[in-house]
């Protein structure tokens, strides 16, 4: 029936008569119970066992994982588990009996299971590798020491148990004769265990865990020993069917024979302990407890720790736990627990140990690193690099690779430096890895072209160049040509050139469009358009935007400027020559093709304002001057003026107020610093002239920002004039020019000076919407009471206006704002009487007087306690 | 690369990670890789009663693809710099 003429009787047949008192015992073959008519099939399919295992049941009960699950589970789960194992305790049986028993069903599953397990567990390759080589050859590879150790262990064990230890060659038979010789590697478990005949899995595995170097050699030895036990081989072969390879068969059988013998020994012991009912059947395997046991000490030991541990069903933990209560006598509870904890630890460590060689690890590390490192970390890792510099003041590019190495070392868990705790060595290694990774990264572009990298796809996870962390999949796909069309369509002013451009639509549309726009002659409305009725035609921001190319155009222009600035900044960092012509072009200063200069419209957006300081870094003085000239020239179009004027925007929203603040803190600051640092008197005069000439000054003066701007100009001019007056270098034409400019300014403001004061409702609105966010931040008690419209900027303006003017100018100013002066004084005095909080009212009062005196002091006056007196 | 670069600056900062299965974990970010896998230390689960099994976990490795949100403290981010970095990224993509 079987391949080698073995007795491959069906499950149950091997159960010996004498040790099976309970049920099937004493019946070598209970035909009625075991025979299911499968013999009919087997007549023809005599290789079935080779293929499916000796006790694979034919029929509808397809239990692939556990060959004879149903047959034996009946017996064991019905409380007869103690009996079934008991059948192996014959100590005086003949070889034949042992052999017969050897193929008795409880053991077979182990053999069957092993290949199954190897299929699914990580240990599979090892298992197969270990078995093929001929045993003789393997034996040679053993060192003398190992052999000796092996023998010593056996002797020790046997001696403890009072058995004579035969030479390794007889291991197989010996165990078959039911001498409870434990597996060799179990030599160190406490004598009490051995004496008590306890199955030694527990300490055994523990030991294996401790000395990971052990198992392979032992296993080899076992195989060798088993191979020498030639008699057994023949019997065992029947169970080795799963190892279908013909040439490997002998070895496989040998290994399994060994496994079997050990299992038998173990089982015998366990049965002697009469612990049958507590057997871990349910945990160990669905049907049969015995295979589980075998799995652990026998082939498990022979294979590799991993193979064992990775099998969930036969995991030692399960066995351990389920068996723990049984062992109470030899071990105290704490000891047990400690051992368990320790063992669990070892298991955890061993679980995946040795999966990869250091070379493998290096390889993986290198590939992972190559995704991280780049030739140009500053460029591709911009945020991190700059953030680090900003936060910690690090030096740019400072051993970036070292940092990566260190970081990677940390999170790859290598930092301990392995066995010898050589952290420095580990770091060095990692550094060299990073070096190599950089090389790989450098080579990557070429490789991508050749699609070499794709061959590694799936091996190391997804490393395709098309879609990686650098170029993630886009959630939003915007077809590029369409957007270009949209952009050009927006530019209503110049439809013809833009359409011609859109037809090209190959390059980044914007640059081309803007470039060509510069060359386009626009005569239609170019000059005539200018400044007829500014103030109120400019109120609508969208109209302003559309007159400067459209909202989209302006926004994309800002982005272009950002791009150029970023490039320039990079040039600056790398110390290259800076060429700001692209930036200047992008700003469209002096570009006459738009009604409103795009630059002015750029200032309508927060991000346009924010980029200004960085733009100024790259402009030379004449460019700055030109820019400011344009700015003052078209001030009326400035969105910020419009929203900060009470005339055009009588109820500013919170966001608008924020915008005003932003503009003041950024752009006004730039202007002030430019005026005070680099502009000379004539230039300032020129700027003022631009402002007066082309704008509705009285409208601008109704806005806070506008008033601030005028103040900045005239006060700076006045300061320079004073300085120069002292040194007498100001030529008379300059002075007369200044007087002319001033007169013009004054004339445009005359009779409207009181309009610089916003109406009370406006001030209240600003205060209420402006104070809302601030109350949340600072203590509300002070804030809510102190809040009042800050008129300081108005008094500053009047002061600087008066400072530059002559006496008659000052007189006119006072005449016009007389109401406001006395109104302020009255308000200040009222504060003292009505306010509850003395401190607050005092502060407010002081503030009002201070602001007022800014102006009055210029004319040698001072307001104090309801009275205006001469300044002493 | 931008997000990787960004998250690298958050290393050793405390973040709250919300996973796609609604678990929220607060912990110190220990490391991040190019797949935005995260390693958190000293984690605490915001909904301890719902996920008691996380109570005994101290550190955790999170596969990047399972992350829904990472909540950050506002002042951990340099917004202007991030804007610049995003623009640079966009520029290099265009090229």
More confident residue, A527 or A481: A481
Pick from B80, B32, B1, B86: which is nearest to A380 by CA?
B1
* Rounded CA separation A143/A152 (Å): 14
- How many Å is the Cα radius of gyration of chain A? 47
Q: Where are the domains of chain A?
A: 539-619
Does A516 have pLDDT greater than 50?
A: no
Instruction: Summarize pLDDT for A81-98 with one digit per residue, the tens.
Output: 444 444 444 445 555 555
Domains and CATH numbers, chain B: 1-94 (2.30.30.100)
**Contact assignment for A469 to B31 by CB distance below 8 Å:** no
State the DSSP string of A151-202: HHHHHHHHHHHT-PPPPGGGHHHHHHTT--PPPGGGTTS-HHHHHHT--THH
Contacts of B93 in chain A (CB under 8 A): 471
More confident residue, A483 or A385: A385
- How many Å is the Cα radius of gyration of chain B? 15
Neighbouring C-beta atoms of residue A392, cutoff 10 Å = 8
At residue A523, the pLDDT reads 33
Does A225 have pLDDT greater than 90?
A: no
Does A161 have pLDDT greater than 80?
A: no
Query: What would the mean pLDDT of A33-38 be, rounded to a whole number?
Result: 59
**Contact assignment for A384 to B82 by CB distance below 8 Å:** no
Contact partners, residue B93, CB within 8 Å, separation at least 6: A471
At residue A827, the pLDDT reads 82
Highest mean pLDDT, choosing among A70-84, A459-473, A536-550, A678-692: A678-692
More confident residue, A306 or A591: A591
Neighbouring C-beta atoms of residue A32, cutoff 10 Å = 7
CB A869 within 8 A of CB A849: no
At residue A652, the pLDDT reads 80
Which conformational region is residue B12 in: left (phi greater than 0), alpha (psi within -120 to 50 degrees), or beta? left
* Rounded CA separation A381/B32 (Å): 14
* Encoded tokens for A420: 């010898």
Query: What would the mean pLDDT of A232-239 be, rounded to a whole number?
Result: 45
Instruction: Summarize pLDDT for A812-859 with one digit per residue, the tens.
Output: 888 888 888 888 888 888 776 665 667 777 788 888 888 888 888 888
At residue B42, the pLDDT reads 93
CB A674 within 8 A of CB A628: yes
Pick from A564, A743, A727: which is nearest to A572 by CA?
A564
At residue A22, the pLDDT reads 47
Query: What would the mean pLDDT of A587-616 be, rounded to a whole number?
Result: 84
* Rounded CA separation A793/A380 (Å): 46
At residue A113, the pLDDT reads 46
* Rounded CA separation A460/A295 (Å): 33
Helix/strand/coil for A335: helix
SS (H, E, C) A304-332: CHHHHHCCCCCCHHHHHHHHHHHHHCCCC
Cα atoms in the Cβ-side hemisphere of radius 13 Å centred on A590: 10
Indicate whether this complex's ipTM tops 0.95. Answer: no
* Rounded CA separation A501/A607 (Å): 28
CB A146 within 8 A of CB A139: no
* Rounded CA separation A635/A599 (Å): 11
* Rounded CA separation A808/A814 (Å): 10
B35–chain A Cβ distance below 8 A for any pair? yes
DSSP letter assigned to residue A758: P
**Contact assignment for B93 to A566 by CB distance below 8 Å:** no
DSSP letter assigned to residue A58: P
Angle between helix axes A201-210 and A333-351 (nearest 10 degrees) is 50
Helix/strand/coil for B32: strand
CB A156 within 8 A of CB A193: no
Highest mean pLDDT, choosing among A353-367, A415-429, A804-818: A804-818
Does A528 have pLDDT greater than 60?
A: no
At residue A137, the pLDDT reads 44
Cα dist. A202→A189, A267, A297, B47 in Å? 8, 14, 9, 39
pLDDT classification of B25: cutoffs 50, 70, 90: very high
Query: What would the mean pLDDT of A302-312 be, rounded to a whole number?
Result: 41
Does A150 have pLDDT greater than 90?
A: no
**Contact assignment for A383 to B31 by CB distance below 8 Å:** no
At residue A341, the pLDDT reads 92
**Contact assignment for A382 to B35 by CB distance below 8 Å:** no
* Encoded tokens for A868: 């205006």
Neighbouring C-beta atoms of residue A311, cutoff 10 Å = 23
Helix/strand/coil for A673: helix
Does A598 have pLDDT greater than 60?
A: yes
- How many A×B Cβ pairs under 8 Å? 75
DSSP letter assigned to residue A666: I
What does residue B36 show for φ and ψ, rounded to 5 degrees? 60, 25
Contact partners, residue A757, CB within 8 Å, separation at least 6: A791, A794, A817, A820
pLDDT classification of B14: cutoffs 50, 70, 90: very high
Contacts of B33 in chain A (CB under 8 A): 368, 372, 411
Contact partners, residue A226, CB within 8 Å, separation at least 6: A135, A171, A172, A232, A233, A254, A255, A257, A258, A261
pLDDT cut 90: percent of chain A above it? 1
Does A58 have pLDDT greater than 80?
A: no
CB A669 within 8 A of CB A615: no
Q: Please tell me the least confidently modeled range out of A4-8, A173-177, A768-772.
A: A173-177
**Contact assignment for A566 to B5 by CB distance below 8 Å:** no
Q: Please tell me the least confidently modeled range out of A427-436, A514-523, A661-670, A737-746.
A: A514-523
CB A468 within 8 A of CB A478: no
Q: What pTM does this model have? A: 0.52
Chain A residues 399-418 within an 8 A CB cutoff of chain B: 407, 410-411
At residue B15, the pLDDT reads 94
Which of A461, A469, A566 lies at the smallest CB-CB distance from B91? A566
Instruction: Summarize pLDDT for A633-652 with one digit per residue, the tens.
Output: 888 888 888 888 888 877 78
Query: What would the mean pLDDT of B14-19 be, rounded to a whole number?
Result: 94
Helix/strand/coil for A868: strand
DSSP letter assigned to residue A755: G
Pick from A382, A777, A469, A383: which is nearest to B79 by CA?
A383
* Rounded CA separation A832/A41 (Å): 115
More confident residue, A7 or A862: A862
Does B60 have pLDDT greater than 50?
A: yes
Does A513 have pLDDT greater than 60?
A: no
At residue A651, the pLDDT reads 79
Query: What would the mean pLDDT of A527-552 be, rounded to a whole number?
Result: 56
pLDDT classification of B70: cutoffs 50, 70, 90: very high
Chain B, nearest residue to A406 by Cα: B31
What does residue B31 show for φ and ψ, rounded to 5 degrees? -160, 165
Does B93 have pLDDT greater than 70?
A: yes
A606–chain B Cβ distance below 8 A for any pair? no
Query: What would the mean pLDDT of A534-558 be, rounded to a whole number?
Result: 68
Query: If you search the block for the tokens 């009604």, which residue do you land on?
Result: A595
Does A793 have pLDDT greater than 60?
A: yes
CA angle A70, A74, A75 (to 5 degrees): 125
At residue B67, the pLDDT reads 95
Contacts of B4 in chain A (CB under 8 A): 372, 381, 469
pLDDT classification of B69: cutoffs 50, 70, 90: very high
pLDDT cut 70: percent of chain A above it? 43
DSSP letter assigned to residue A667: I
At residue A682, the pLDDT reads 84
At residue A633, the pLDDT reads 85
Query: What would the mean pLDDT of A452-464 be, rounded to a whole number?
Result: 49
Q: What integer best gives the mean pLDDT of chain A?
A: 63
* Rounded CA separation A412/A404 (Å): 12
At residue B2, the pLDDT reads 86
Pick from A791, A768, A627: which is nearest to A708 by CA?
A791
Contacts of A372 in chain B (CB under 8 A): 4, 33-34
**Contact assignment for B5 to A371 by CB distance below 8 Å:** no
Does A217 have pLDDT greater than 70?
A: no
């Amino acid at each position: 029936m079987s391949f080698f003429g073995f007795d491959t009787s069906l499950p149950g047949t091997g159960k010996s008569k004498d040790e099976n008192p309970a049920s099937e015992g004493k019946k070598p073959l209970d035909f009625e119970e075991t025979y299911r008519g499968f013999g009919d099939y087997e007549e023809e399919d005599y290789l079935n066992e080779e293929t499916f295992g000796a006790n694979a049941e034919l029929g509808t009960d397809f239990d692939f994982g556990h060959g004879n699950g149903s047959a034996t589970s009946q017996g064991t789960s019905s409380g007869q588990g103690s009996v079934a194992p008991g059948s192996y305790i014959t100590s005086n049986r003949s070889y034949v009996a042992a052999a017969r028993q050897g193929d008795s069903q409880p053991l077979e599953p182990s053999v069957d299971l092993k290949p199954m397990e190897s299929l699914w567990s990580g240990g599979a390759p090892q298992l197969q590798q270990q078995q093929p080589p001929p045993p003789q050859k393997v034996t040679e590879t053993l060192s003398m020491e190992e052999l000796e150790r092996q023998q010593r262990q056996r002797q020790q064990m046997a001696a403890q148990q009072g058995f004579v230890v035969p030479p390794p060659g007889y291991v197989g038979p010996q165990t078959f004769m039911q001498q409870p010789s434990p597996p060799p590697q179990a030599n160190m478990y406490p004598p009490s265990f051995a004496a008590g005949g306890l199955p030694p899995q527990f300490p055994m595995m523990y030991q294996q865990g401790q000395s990971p170097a052990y198992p392979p050699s032992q296993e080899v030895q076992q195989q060798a020993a088993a191979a020498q036990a030639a008699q057994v081989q023949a019997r065992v072969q029947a169970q080795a069917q799963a190892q279908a390879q013909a040439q490997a068969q002998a070895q496989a059988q040998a290994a399994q024979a060994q496994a079997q013998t050990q299992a038998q020994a173990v089982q015998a012991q366990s049965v002697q302990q009469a612990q049958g009912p507590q057997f871990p059947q349910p945990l160990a395997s669905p049907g049969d407890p015995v295979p589980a046991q075998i799995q652990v000490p026998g082939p498990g030991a022979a294979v590799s720790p991993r193979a064992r541990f990775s099998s969930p069903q036969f995991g030692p933990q399960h066995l351990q736990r389920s068996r723990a209560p049984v062992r109470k006598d030899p071990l105290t509870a704490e000891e047990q627990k400690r051992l368990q904890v320790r063992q669990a630890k070892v298991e955890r460590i061993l679980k995946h140990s040795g999966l990869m060689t250091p070379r493998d690890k290096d390889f993986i590390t290198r590939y992972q690193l190559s995704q991280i490192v780049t030739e140009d970390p500053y460029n591709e890792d911009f945020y991190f690099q700059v953030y680090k510099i900003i936060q910690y003041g690090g030096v740019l590019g400072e051993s970036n690779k070292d940092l990566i190495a260190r970081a990677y070392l940390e999170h790859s868990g290598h930092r301990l430096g392995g066995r010898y705790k050589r952290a420095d060595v580990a770091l060095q290694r990692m550094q060299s890895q990073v070096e190599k990774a950089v090389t790989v990264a450098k080579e990557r572009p070429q490789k991508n072209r050749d699609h070499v990298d794709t061959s590694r796809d799936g091996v190391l996870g997804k490393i395709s160049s098309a879609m990686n962390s650098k170029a993630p999949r886009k959630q939003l796909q915007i077809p590029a040509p369409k957007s270009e069309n949209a952009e050009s369509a927006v530019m209503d002013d110049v439809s013809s050139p833009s359409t011609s451009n859109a037809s090209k639509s190959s390059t980044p549309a914007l640059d081309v469009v803007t470039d060509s726009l510069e060359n386009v002659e626009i005569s239609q409305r170019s000059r005539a358009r200018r400044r007829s009725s500014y103030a109120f035609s400019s109120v609508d921001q969208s109209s302003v935007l559309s007159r400067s190319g459209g909202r989209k155009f302006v926004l994309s222009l800002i982005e272009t400027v950002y791009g150029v600035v970023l490039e320039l900044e990079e040039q600056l960092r790398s110390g290259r020559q800076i060429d700001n012509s692209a930036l200047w072009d992008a700003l469209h200063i002096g570009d006459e093709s738009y009604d409103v200069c795009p630059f002015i419209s750029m200032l309508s957006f927060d991000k346009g304002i924010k980029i200004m300081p960085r733009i100024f870094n790259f402009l030379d003085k004449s460019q700055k001057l030109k820019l400011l000239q344009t700015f003052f020239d078209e001030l009326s179009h400035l969105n910020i003026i419009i929203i900060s004027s009470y005339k055009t925007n009588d109820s500013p929203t919170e966001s608008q107020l924020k915008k005003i603040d932003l503009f003041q803190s950024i752009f006004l600051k730039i202007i002030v610093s430019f005026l005070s640092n680099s502009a000379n008197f004539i230039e300032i005069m020129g700027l003022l002239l631009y402002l007066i000439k082309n704008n509705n000054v009285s409208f601008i003066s109704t806005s806070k920002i506008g008033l601030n701007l005028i103040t900045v100009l005239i006060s700076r001019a006045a300061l320079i004039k004073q300085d120069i007056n002292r040194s007498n270098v100001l030529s008379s034409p300059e002075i007369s020019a200044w007087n002319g400019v001033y007169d013009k300014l004054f004339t445009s403001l005359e009779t409207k000076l009181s309009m610089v004061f916003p109406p009370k409702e406006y001030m209240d609105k600003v205060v209420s919407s402006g104070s809302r966010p601030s109350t949340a931040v600072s203590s509300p008690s002070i804030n809510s009471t102190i809040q009042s419209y800050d008129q300081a900027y108005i008094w500053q303006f009047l002061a600087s206006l008066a400072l530059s003017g002559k006496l008659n100018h000052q007189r006119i100013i006072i005449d016009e704002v007389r109401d406001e002066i006395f109104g302020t004084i009255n308000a200040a005095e009222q504060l003292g009487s009505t306010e509850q909080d003395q401190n607050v009212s005092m502060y407010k009062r002081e503030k009002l007087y201070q602001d007022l005196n800014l102006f009055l002091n210029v004319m040698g006056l001072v307001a104090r306690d309801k009275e205006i007196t001469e300044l002493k | 690369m931008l997000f990787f670069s960004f998250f690298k600056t958050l290393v050793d900062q405390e973040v709250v990670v919300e996973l796609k299965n609604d678990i929220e974990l607060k912990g110190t970010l220990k490391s991040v890789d190019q797949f935005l896998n995260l390693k958190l230390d000293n984690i605490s689960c915001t909904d301890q009663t719902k996920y008691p099994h996380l109570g005994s976990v101290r550190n955790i490795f999170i596969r990047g693809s399972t992350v829904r949100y990472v909540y950050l403290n506002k002042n951990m981010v340099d917004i202007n710099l991030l804007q610049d970095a995003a623009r640079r990224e966009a520029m290099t993509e265009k090229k």
